[in-house]
Amino acid sequence: MADEIGATVVAADAADSASMRAAVARVAETLGGLDILIANAGGHGVGPTISMSDETWDLAVRLNLNTAFVSARESLPHLVESKGNIVVLACMDTGQSLKFVAKAALRGAENFRFFSDRAPEARDGKVLRATNQINVTTRVPIGPVGIITPWNTPFMLSTWKIAPALAAGCTIVHKPAEFSPLTARLLVEIAEEAGLPKGVWNLVNGFGEDAGKALTEHPAIKAIGFVGESRTGSLIMKQGADTLKRVHFELGGKNPVIVFADADLERAADAVVFMIYSLNGERCTSSSRLLVEESIYDRFTALVAEKAKRIKIGHPLDPETVVGPLIHPEHERKVLEYIGIGRKEGATVHRSTSSTCST
């Protein structure tokens, strides 16, 4: 998220915390001009508009905002860990079970620790020596960054993208997925409570086709960090091409588990069930395919089916629940559609006789 250039950057003295805080406060005040407005007139969605003056841009680039992130490094992760309502909101937001969401919240706090520890190095450049010359580079924030996050594990994945952008000294505009917007607002409140100046971390809610598109096409946004499906990533790259935006993508994929005959089948079956069903199966690292050596196929698939029958399905706030409700009827239809496709293609569907679980 940082831009490397061969020049000296004017910045407040990082050793002088008072002057740095004052400088960051001035930037935050100026960044108040970065207005994000979503209107819906006559049923026609109008995407957010982002206005930024030349003075705002100059300040945002030239002042080392990452120092504000460093100053919050002790309190911000602690606040994330101590806010019990994060976990409750995340469960309500996604339907995912408490036992998994609680760990994801802790991972979010750790993301802030990791990147805040590296923030002091964000402007480190390189010194390259050659015969009769020396090349010195430094690094400066690229500018405002648009962050677009998905509906699966939205809290943790938001910290995954936002923390490095802040550590590099960039301001951000975050658009969470429309299916899971609740924890995004709480994250902003936590960051400001930890000392991050208002206006550095901005939030906009809306649909991808209008709010997201406005971010990816707006010339004031210099980079896009996105987690989601590959097709959407392709659209974002096209939308940002005219303004030469940098992109940082984490896209979907297919993740097989391969089990050979010499494996510990009991442990392998436990791993397979975890990778398929944890977080409701709504994760980019879920194992959507299971490839088994033919000689153990019947034995192993029966073992996996038996373990799947014992999975507790229930209310996401029940500590014993493993699988909660899917996030949205639209997603439920998609899951059922794939089961139907599997049947049509000749797959055998193993499921329990009760209504509590199916595989």
Task: Give domain status of residue 149, yes or no.
Answer: yes
**Domain final residue, candidates 235, 251, 267:** 251
**Which of 213, 61, 85 shows the shortest CA–CA distance to 144?**
61
DSSP codes joined into one string, 314-329: --TTSTT-SB---S-H
pLDDT digit string, tens, across residues 178-209: 999 988 988 888 888 888 888 889 999 989 88
284 is catalytic: yes
End residue of a domain, out of 193, 223, 251: 251
Shared-domain flag, residues 167 and 115: yes
Give the pLDDT confidence score for residue 105 in this predicted structure.
80
- pLDDT tier at 147 (50, 70, 90 boundaries)? very high
**What pLDDT, on a 0 to 100 scale, did the predictor assign at position 56?**
41
The answer on pLDDT for 344 being more than 90 is yes
**Is pLDDT above 60 for 93?**
yes
Catalytic residue among 250, 332, 337, 357: 250
DSSP string, 145-156: EEEE--SSSHHH
Q: Residues 66, 122: one domain?
A: yes
In terms of domains, do 127 and 146 share one? yes
- Looking at the structure, tell me whether residues 155 and 299 fall in a common domain: no
What is the number of structural domains in the chain? 2
pLDDT, average across residues 200-221: 91
Annotated catalytic residue, options 192, 284, 306, 357: 284
354 lies in some domain: no
Rounded distance between C-alpha atoms, residue 326 and residue 305, angstroms: 20
For every residue of 219-280, DSSP letters joined together read TT--EEEEEE-HHHHHHHHHHTTTTT-EEEEEE----EEEE-TTS-HHHHHHHHHHHHHGGG
CATH code at 291? 3.40.309.10
Residue 139 placed within a domain: yes
Are residues 160 and 204 located together in one domain of the fold? Answer: yes
- Do residues 204 and 299 share a domain? no
Cβ atoms of residues 239 and 61 within 8 Å: no
Q: Are residues 228 and 274 in the same domain?
A: no
User: 334 in a domain, yes or no?
Assistant: yes
Phi, psi at residue 201, to the nearest 5°? -115, 110
∠ CA 237-239-240, rounded to 5°: 65
Question: What Å distances lie between residue 171 and 59, 70, 105, 166, CA to CA?
Answer: 11, 14, 23, 6
* Distance between first and last Cα of the chain: 42
Are residue 111 and residue 51 in the same domain, yes or no? yes
- Domain holding 207: CATH number? 3.40.605.10
Residue 279 banded pLDDT, cuts 50, 70, 90: confident
Question: Does a structural domain hold residue 353?
Answer: no
Mean of the pLDDT values across residues 230-238? 94
In angstroms, rounded to a whole number, what is the distance separating the alpha carbons of residues 34 and 24?
Answer: 15
> Are 214 and 324 found together in one domain?
no
Residues 180 and 306 in one domain: no
Tell whether 350 is covered by a domain: no
pLDDT tens by residue, 33-83: 333 222 222 233 323 333 334 444 344 433 444 455 555 555 555 555 555
Question: CA-CA distances (angstroms) from residue 153 to 10, 90, 91, 108?
Answer: 39, 8, 9, 10
284 pLDDT higher than 70: yes
Question: Is residue 83 in some structural domain?
Answer: yes
Burial of residue 274 (CB within 10 Å: 0-12, 13-18, 19+) is middle
For residue 14, the SS3 value is coil
- The whole domain housing 332 covers 256-344
* Statement to judge: residues 90 and 188 lie in one domain: yes
356: left (phi over 0), alpha (psi -120 to 50) or beta: alpha
Strands (E), the chain: 2-5, 35-41, 44-51, 127-130, 133-136, 138-141, 145-148, 172-175, 201-203, 223-228, 246-251, 256-259, 289-292
At 132, list the tokens: 């009769």
Domain boundary, last residue among 233, 251, 269: 251
Query: pTM here?
Result: 0.75
Whether 238 and 285 map to the same domain: the answer is no
Residue 38 lies in a domain: yes
Q: Based on the residue annotation, tell me whether 282 is a catalytic residue of this protein.
A: no
